[in-house]
A and B are shown apart, each in its own frame.
Chain A
């Protein structure tokens, strides 16, 4: 087992692309750290630098107490699981599992013993004589995991190992990987672009964007106290609603105004975030999580100063809850981060294609018993003690 430390690590490719910029990150012994971010954010590059598959342009990567910048991959004692599993097609499952041990010149009987034990842990005992071609996606994934486990390495490095599985299997393997990691207590770096995966699996989650680390913390803190607009928008599903708003003081109370809506900011929120009072009269980006909006009939809150009228554009039932899509008559927040998030979510290059300048798309997660049909105008209530306020200039969280 070992700690993994990035100290001011930068990776610049020969063509000048800076994939990772000045990364400082310390991963504790036995910790499950998830690196998450949209494609091209440098998370995989960071992982490959730990594995030794990519060189470090400046700074140091250390495993345990040793700086490994110049150590070849074979001497780092880490195991990696790849997105496409990278099983050797000409070897049986058993040979795939035993390959690394064979290289280490372990006696045949010991290899057989370890391979059988690992296969047992993963429930692939009956597949040992098959070739990868004859396995399903889920089975291949298990073999890839097995190949990492069998070595008993100092760290597991996983590069989007679940992205090729179907949704159901992914949820199952998520739990399984977490269980195995907890049992073995091996330091793990898990790379994914899926925030749900990140939130459900990580002891801590590091959010990256364009090579820069945005925030690293527990999933709860990332969700409740995102450091900036990007993290706020990236973490959470459905994504946080964001709108251009103005904070004004009215009758000694702070009010967030956007379009025809006025929300009175909860006093507790103001007490907890006194810095927000300095924003009186200023433009901000207001973030409201869909989970903090409820139908008036089902909210336990006093609707006074918290009401939001919504005409239902779309209703998606999730069983106990329903997602209601609607628009508020205020311009959407178009900071650099917000544009980046829209691009990532909608998978488009030009955000003008999907952004309506006059209205902001909103989603609310409400009780499914609430009467909310298409085209109907419904009264919603926002929990204003759980708002997020960001600086529109640099996206930094004000509160």
Chain B
């Protein structure tokens, strides 16, 4: 039988490949140049609003409003930051604390419940497992605006309005986190779990000592995404928290538009102050986040 294995094909094709190398090399290089050019343009488009925000935070009010707009600050100033930091009506430190508390609790709860439920859905056999899992995942399809009113009424019943826990408790279980964690845990071989069981480990110990340490990358990514989501949350905190001293940071974005008819220079500076913690968290966890985002469940 004259069957041709892939190896044979390679051997047959080899001389032609050598001949074609110079032309292919050129094509390869020009392909890369185009790729980099396209990626650079897209990168600039993505970064532009962010850069503009930072630059505008150093412009005086008149320059921000100027038509045609300027890109670089003509007369750079730190007045916007001074105004915000010295605003007696704006307890910025308290907002930071509130936001940090909510975001950190949110991250801890999401990572814990996500990985624990993910482990259960990935490695335990029980009745209606698939049904329960897909029911949880299906909740991702519901727009948050749909559950806003019922959510508000439930918090009202629970006396959690104007309470930071009112933001934290409803997001204790995140369907997306459960889904992502389950997919990653599925790639841990069953033999490892069984081996630990035979070695005498309790289920809790297996979760803690065998499963969790292998999830560092996805946990970092998920943690970062959750932190960002929580830190930037605007609408729900606006509804749940109405008392000044309970508010979280994104509220300051409305501070200078609602009360004092949109002072864009101050809004830009406030925005920069708001995103700094997110940038710090990202910088710290960058290595794990990139790894987590590039992993597709394959180990």
Residues of A whose CB lies within 8 Å of any CB of B are 48, 51-53, 72-74, 76, 78-80, 82-90, 99-100, 103-104, 147, 151, 157
Contacts of A53 in B (CB 8 A): 194, 197-198
**Inter-chain contacts of A48 with B (CB < 8 A):** 194
Could you tell me the distance between the alpha carbons of A371 and B191 in the complex, rounded to whole angstroms?
52
CA of A86 to CA of B197, assembled, Å: 12
Across the interface, do B202 and A86 meet the contact criterion of CB distance under 8 Å? no
User: Which chain B residue has the least Cβ–Cβ distance from A159?
Assistant: B191
Tell whether A99 pairs with B194 under 8 Å between CB atoms, given A74-B202, A90-B213: no
Instruction: Establish whether residues B205 and A73, one from each chain, have CB atoms under 8 Å apart when the complex forms.
Output: no
Q: Which B187-209 residues have C-beta < 8 A from chain A?
A: 189, 191-192, 194-202, 205, 209
Are B198 and A99 in contact, with the CB atoms below 8 A? no
Please give 20 more A-B residue pairs, beta carbons under 8 A apart, in addition to A86-B194, A88-B195. Answer: A53-B198, A73-B194, A73-B197, A74-B199, A74-B201, A76-B198, A78-B198, A79-B198, A79-B199, A82-B191, A84-B189, A87-B192, A89-B299, A100-B199, A100-B200, A103-B200, A104-B200, A147-B195, A147-B199, A157-B198
- B197 A74 Cβ-Cβ under 8 A: yes
In the bound complex, residues from chain B placing their C-beta under 8 Å from that of A73 are 194, 197-198, 200
**Which positions in B face A, CB cutoff 8 Å?**
189, 191-192, 194-202, 205, 209-210, 213-214, 299
Bound form: Cα–Cα A49–B137 in Å: 34
Residue in A72, A82, A90, A104 whose CB lies within 8 Å of B195:
A82
Q: Which residues of chain A come closer than 8 Å to B196, judged between CB atoms? A: 88, 99
Smallest CB gap from B202: residue in A? A74
- Asked whether B214 lies within 8 Å of A51 as measured between CB atoms, the reply is no
Say whether, besides A89-B214, A90-B213, A90-B214, A84 and B201 are in contact (CB < 8 Å). no
The B interface, classified by DSSP as helix, strand, loop or mixed, is: helix
Of chain B, the residue at the smallest CB distance from A76 is B198
B194 contacts A51, C-beta separation under 8 Å: yes
A73→B194 CA distance, assembly (Å): 9
Question: A74 contacts which chain B residues (CB < 8 A)?
Answer: 197-202
Q: How far is the CB of B221 from chain A (nearest CB, A)?
A: 17
* Bound: A90/B299 CA distance, A: 12
Contact of B198 among A51, A87, A89 (CB under 8 A): A51
Per the bound structure, the CA–CA distance linking A104 and B199 in Å amounts to 9
Chain B residues near A87 (CB-CB < 8 A): 192
List A contacts of B189 (CB < 8 A): 84, 86
- 21 contacts across the A-B interface (CB closer than 8 A): A51-B198, A73-B194, A74-B197, A74-B198, A74-B202, A79-B198, A80-B194, A80-B195, A82-B191, A82-B194, A82-B195, A88-B195, A88-B210, A90-B214, A99-B196, A99-B209, A103-B199, A103-B201, A147-B195, A151-B199, A157-B198
In whole angstroms, how far apart are the Cα atoms of A72 and B299 in the complex?
30
For residue B214, which residues in chain A have a CB less than 8 angstroms away from its CB?
Answer: 89-90
- In the complex, which residue of chain A has the Cβ closest to the Cβ of B188? A89
Within the assembled complex, what's the spacing in Å between the Cα atoms of A53 and B192? 12
Chain B neighbourhood of A90, CB < 8 A: 213-214
Q: Which of A88, A104, A147 has the most CB of B within 10 A?
A: A88
Do B200 and A52 touch (CB < 8 A)? no
Closest Cβ–Cβ distance, residue B162 to chain A (whole Å): 44
Chain A residues, CB < 8 A from B192:
86-88
Q: Does B198 lie within 8 Å of A52, measured CB to CB?
A: yes
Main secondary structure on A side of the interface with B = loop
B198 contacts A84, C-beta separation under 8 Å? no
CB <8 Å contact, A84 and B199: no
Q: Is the CB of A103 within 8 A of B195?
A: no
Bound-state CA distance A76–B197 (Å) is 10
Min C-beta distance of B288 to chain A, whole Å: 14
| Least distance between B124 CB and chain A CB atoms (Å) | 13
Q: What are the residues of chain B within 8 A of A89 when measuring CB–CB?
A: 214, 299
Chain B residue contacts of A100, Cβ below 8 A: 199-200
Shortest CB–CB separation between residue A49 and chain B, in angstroms? 13
User: Taking CB as reference atom, which chain A residue is nearest B209?
Assistant: A99
Q: Which residues of A contact B210 (CB under 8 A)?
A: 88
Chain A residues in 8 Å Cβ range of B200: 73-74, 100, 103-104
**A151–B200 Cα gap in the complex (Å)?**
10
Residues of B within 8 A of A84 (CB): 189, 191
B195 contacts across to A, CB distance below 8 A = 80, 82, 86, 88, 147
Say how far B106's CB is from chain A's closest CB, in angstroms. 27
Q: Are A103 and B194 also in contact (CB < 8 A) when A74-B200, A147-B199 are? A: no
Q: Which residues does chain A contribute within 8 Å of B213, judged by CB atoms?
A: 90
Q: Report the minimal beta-carbon distance from A25 to chain B, rounded to whole angstroms.
A: 20
Residue of B nearest to A153 (CB): B198
Q: How far is the CB of B119 from chain A (nearest CB, A)?
A: 15
In angstroms, how far is the closest chain A Cβ from the Cβ of B265? 50
Distance from B41 Cβ to chain A, minimum over Cβ atoms (Å):
40
Q: Which of A48, A52, A74, A104 has the most CB of B within 10 A?
A: A74
Smallest CB–CB gap between B79 and chain A, Å? 52
Q: How distant is the Cα of A74 from the Cα of B201 in the complex, in angstroms?
A: 6
* B127 and chain A: residue at smallest CB distance: A14
Contacts of A52 in B (CB 8 A): 197-198
List chain B residues, Cβ under 8 A from A78: 198
Query: Which of chain B's residues have a CB closer than 8 A to the CB of A86?
Result: 189, 191-192, 194-195
Question: In the complex, which residues of chain B have a beta carbon less than 8 angstroms from the beta carbon of A103?
Answer: 199-201, 205
List, in ascending order, chain B residues with CB within 8 A of A79's CB.
Answer: 198-199
Known interface pairs A88-B192, A88-B210; A80-B201 also in contact (CB < 8 Å): no
Expressed in whole angstroms, the minimum distance between the Cβ of B160 and any Cβ of chain A is: 39
When C-beta atoms are compared, the residue in chain B nearest to A144 turns out to be B195
Closest to A78 in B: B198
Smallest beta-carbon distance A106→chain B, Å? 11
- Name the distance in Å between A71's Cβ and chain B's nearest Cβ: 12
Residues on B with beta carbons closer than 8 Å to the beta carbon of A51: 194, 198
